[in-house]
Amino acid sequence: MKGALVVISLPGILGGMGGKRSDTRQAILEAAYALFFRRGFARVSVDAIAEKAGVTKRTVYFHFTSKDDITAAALEVQHLSLMAQYRSWMRPDAGTVQAFLAHLFDSLRNWAERPGWVGSGYSRISVELADMRGHPARKAAHRHKAEVERWLCEQLQGFGSQEPARLAQQVLIQIEGGMGLALIHGDPSYLIAARDAALRLAEGDAA
């Protein structure tokens, strides 16, 4: 991870395209995500993406039909990287739902404490495009958050949750709320409060 930005690991994902074309597409997606993450969707132009990627605007349009297309593709690839990040925070030896959740939220807090942290790119772009429900980036964000919830459900079930689907939904609400407030107030301690709330929910699930 570079600063607050999760490093996108694209070569293996895009390797099927082969050769220079794959490298160029990779550079465009990395440039786009980095710019969208820092500046937001509306403030980033295709010209800016081309400049950061070190290619011409014509080359960008050779690989993608529009900025919307670039955004959706960048978020879909970033989804794989972020899911790998969540899995890296796993503790197979956690033993209990409570231990799993405590480690997960502590990892999120450590992430939020990094210099320059600006929250979740998916949540931020969804807010930015709140009035555009059909936008490809909104759809990519929906798929990502749904996959995170499914992953949480699987982990919670594995650690013995009585109602893993319900608890996963509740935990995801704590994650999103904690990260959102940590960003708004510039205070990662909101993720400690979110952890404590999640642990209380886990106690109720076990009762």
pLDDT in tens, 85-109: 888 877 767 789 999 999 999 999 9
Domain 11-71 sits in CATH at: 1.10.10.60
| pLDDT for res 74 | 85
pLDDT in tens, 117-140: 888 778 877 888 888 888 888 888
Count CB neighbours of 125 within 10 A. Answer: 22
Q: Helix, strand or coil for residue 190?
A: helix
For 38-42, 96-100, 154-158, 173-177, which range has the lowest pLDDT when averaged over its residues?
38-42
| pLDDT for res 12 | 39
Task: Report the C-alpha gap between 171 and 9 in whole angstroms.
Answer: 27
The answer on pLDDT for 19 being more than 70 is no
| pLDDT for res 21 | 66
Q: Helix, strand or coil for residue 123?
A: helix
The answer on pLDDT for 185 being more than 70 is yes
Task: Report the C-alpha gap between 152 and 3 in whole angstroms.
Answer: 25
Nearest Cα to Cα of residue 25 among 49, 1, 45: 49
Task: Report the C-alpha gap between 149 and 155 in whole angstroms.
Answer: 10
Residues of the chain with CATH 1.10.357.10: 89-206
pTM: 0.78
The answer on pLDDT for 8 being more than 50 is no
CA-to-CA dists, residue 154 to 93, 98, 146, 163, 200, angstroms: 15, 15, 12, 11, 19
| pLDDT for res 17 | 43
Residues of the chain with CATH 1.10.10.60: 11-71
Report the amino acid identity of residue 60. Answer: V
The answer on pLDDT for 141 being more than 90 is no
The DSSP bridge partners found for residue 5 are 2
The mean per-residue pLDDT over the stretch 150-179 comes to: 95
The answer on pLDDT for 157 being more than 90 is yes
Instruction: Please give the CATH superfamily to which domain 89-206 belongs.
Output: Tetracycline Repressor, domain 2 (1.10.357.10)
Listed in sequence order, the DSSP H helices in the chain are: 11-14, 19-39, 46-53, 57-63, 67-88, 97-112, 121-128, 136-158, 164-185, 189-206
Count CB neighbours of 71 within 10 A. Answer: 25
